[in-house]
Amino acid sequence: MSSGRDDLLERLLEGSRCDAEAGESAEAYERRGTSIELVEDADGTRLSVVAERGFALRLFRSGRTAFAASPPEASDRLPAEARLVLGRARARRGARAAGPVALDRAPALVPLAPPDEASARALLASFRSALVTEGEGAVSLTEAILTVGARTERVVTTAGRDVAFGSGIATLVATVTGRTAAGSVSARVLASASRPEELFLARLAHQAVDRALLPLRGRPLAPARGDLLLDPAVAAPVVGRLAPAFFGDEGDALLASRTRNGRDAFASPALSLVDDASAPGGPVKATHDGEGTAHSRTLLVSRGIAVGRLSDCAAAIRLERPPTGNAQRRSYSEPPAIGVTNFFVDPSRGVTPLELLRALARGFYAAVPLSRPEVDFASDRFRLHAAGYWVEKGRAADAVSETLVEGRLSELLRAVEAVGDDLKFVPSGSGGAGSPTLFIPKWKGA
């Protein structure tokens, strides 16, 4: 990757030739990134080293928006392309280039240190070793994909914004196979963090072993009334699926219908939901979003009551609130859209998971998800396919190979009686979703 500075971004913004009097404004964006991907499988090792640079331009005119993106060699065409069909787009209030922010940094893109191949290999070796120890020979690693990347971004607008910032990402995706006399099962587990050393390999290995062996060693459990304890690995993906209800003003109608225009609580008083790019243990560690707005900690549900929304600049104008810094760009070639950073259930008033387990008189401890949870906010339904343990008087009585926990989503959220203090994150959308252990007493379908 070229690390030297040039004036391509400035030229791109100048090339947009915005007519401020006609209500035009523009935002130019640059991303530089390097990443390595190390793949180990039965056939050997594959190393991919990627260096990239890309540009994007958004033009705004009287509420209309058009977007164009390209690598450097074609960036001079972006203004013309963005103008092509700008007039055909529908207008929407709030669409305009963002102005300067108070804490703008010097507009310099610091060259990135390339991710380290030797460390990546050592990390995969550690994971393999942890898996062998946890799985006691019954679980093997079919494929492991470790990706480590770093990037710098810069946003400049005709309204005076000029912000540069950097971030990192590390992801480990492992496919494991469990084999016992009862048969064989393969499963995929993944973890992400802002740096490779924060990947919590031992925890991922433990989860992989449970995910591969519980379906082989346990017995199916028919849905029955009982207490329900959701491990963070099961609860966090469900929490992640709640996030779109808080995206700007898009989810307003849905949220209003689920809470009868705010007359009902969204969840039980034990639950508070937060989005925070600096949350400890969260996979996202960034200072700014894809529009150059500084991230903030946003309280979305306070003790069961919906109080906040996640917004980009346009949604913030429509909501008449300051932007929360949640415009996410998945790549330079996609326009920013509202998304989460680290979206989680606040564990600050939680108790230890052991205390929650002791409170389980007779019920199911869902330890690992067996498939992606089904969460349909519109029809107020959810469904979890999980494996775990049947628990009596706080002790595991039997391994459960699979069971379904389903019902009304609103009832589940309002039935959470206590939360743990063991917040853990899973990758979700462009960021992460986190939850501690959740305790739901006397659930009708577990």
Which of residues 14, 252, 380, 421 is near another protein by CB under 8 A?
380
Q: Is 88 in the site for another protein (CB under 8 A)?
A: yes
Nearer to another protein, 261 or 379 (CB): 379
Nearer to another protein, 72 or 166 (CB): 72
Query: Residues 141 to 180: which contact another protein by CB under 8 A?
Result: 142-143, 145, 173, 175, 177, 179
Q: Is 348 in the site for another protein (CB under 8 A)?
A: no
Structure tokens at 88: 């055909």
CB 431 within 8 A of CB 328: yes
Burial class for 98, CB neighbours closer than 10 Å (0-12, 13-18, 19+): buried
Which of residues 197, 334, 361, 398 is near another protein by CB under 8 A?
334
Nearer to another protein, 329 or 424 (CB): 329
Sign for the CA dihedral angle at 419, 423, 425, 431 comes to: positive
Q: Is 374 in the site for another protein (CB under 8 A)?
A: yes
Which of residues 9, 18, 28, 66 is near another protein by CB under 8 A?
66
Alpha carbons 444 and 446: distance in angstroms, whole number: 6
Select from 140-148, 153-161, 162-170, 351-359 the region that touches another protein (CB under 8 A).
140-148
C-alpha pair distances (Å), 419 with each of 245, 327, 351, 394, 413: 22, 30, 7, 16, 12
Of 345, 299, 313, 335, which Cα lies nearest the Cα of 430?
A: 335
Shortest distance, CB of residue 408 to another protein, whole angstroms?
12
Shortest distance, CB of residue 303 to another protein, whole angstroms?
28
Query: Residues 224 to 253: which contact another protein by CB under 8 A?
Result: 250, 253
Nearer to another protein, 175 or 278 (CB): 175
Shortest distance, CB of residue 85 to another protein, whole angstroms?
5
Q: Is 421 in the site for another protein (CB under 8 A)?
A: no
Which of residues 19, 49, 133, 280 is near another protein by CB under 8 A?
49
Select from 5-13, 72-80, 263-271, 321-329 the region that touches another protein (CB under 8 A).
72-80
Which of residues 5, 11, 17, 92 is near another protein by CB under 8 A?
92
Give the DSSP H or E segment for 222. none
CB-based contacts of 55, cutoff 8 Å, min separation 6: 8, 9, 12, 28, 29, 30, 69, 70, 71, 72, 75, 78, 332
CB-based contacts of 44, cutoff 8 Å, min separation 6: none
Q: Is 44 in the site for another protein (CB under 8 A)?
A: yes
Shortest distance, CB of residue 186 to another protein, whole angstroms?
4
Alpha carbons 276 and 282: distance in angstroms, whole number: 9
Whose structure tokens read 């404004």? 25
Nearer to another protein, 72 or 107 (CB): 72
Q: Is 74 in the site for another protein (CB under 8 A)?
A: yes
Q: CA-based Rg of the chain, rounded to a whole angstrom?
A: 24
Whose structure tokens read 């913030």? 316
Nearer to another protein, 155 or 418 (CB): 155
End-to-end CA distance of the chain: 53
Q: Which residues of 168-189 are buried (b: 16+ CB within 10 A; e: fewer)?
A: bbbbbbbbbbbbeeeeebebeb
Q: How many residues bind another protein (CB under 8 A)?
A: 69
Q: Is 53 in the site for another protein (CB under 8 A)?
A: yes
Q: Which residues of 262-288 are buried (b: 16+ CB within 10 A; e: fewer)?
A: eeebbbbebbbbbbbbebeebbbbbbb
Query: Residues 260 to 319: which contact another protein by CB under 8 A?
Result: none
CB-based contacts of 87, cutoff 8 Å, min separation 6: 64
Shortest distance, CB of residue 405 to another protein, whole angstroms?
12
Nearer to another protein, 45 or 129 (CB): 45
Q: What's phi and psi for 202, nearest 5 deg?
A: -65, -40
Q: Is 81 in the site for another protein (CB under 8 A)?
A: yes
Which of residues 166, 335, 394, 441 is near another protein by CB under 8 A?
335
x/- mask, another protein, residues 6-25, rule CB under 8 A, reads --------------------
Write out the residues near another protein by the rule CB under 8 A: 37, 39, 41-54, 65-74, 77-78, 80-82, 84-86, 88-90, 92, 140, 142-143, 145, 173, 175, 177, 179, 183-187, 250, 253-254, 257, 333-335, 371-372, 374, 376-380, 383, 404, 406
